[in-house]
Amino acid sequence: MKDFVIKTYSKAELAMLYFPDANSTHVAVKHLMAWIKRCKPLYQELQQAGLQARDKTFTPKHVKIIVEYLGEP
């Protein structure tokens, strides 16, 4: 498997990396966002980094924060 790269990912793309067995990208995104919201420090740090609920992508900064808390997918 290739090394994980910190870059811009769509929410669906990153979610599918974390949940490759999900039935759909929609389900994977719901699972990933549930994980993020349950981890209060992670969610707060992402908000401070400018993440908005309506955003369709995670910036490299957002991805780095997510990986710090959740590990690489």
**pLDDT tens, residue by residue, 4-50:** 999 999 999 999 999 999 999 999 999 999 999 999 999 999 999 99
- Assess contact for 62 and 11: CB atoms under 8 A: no
d(CA 5, CA 54): 24
Instruction: Please indicate, yes or no, whether the overall pTM of this predicted structure exceeds 0.85.
Output: yes
Reported as half-sphere exposure (CB side, CA atoms, 13 A), residue 30 has a value of 6
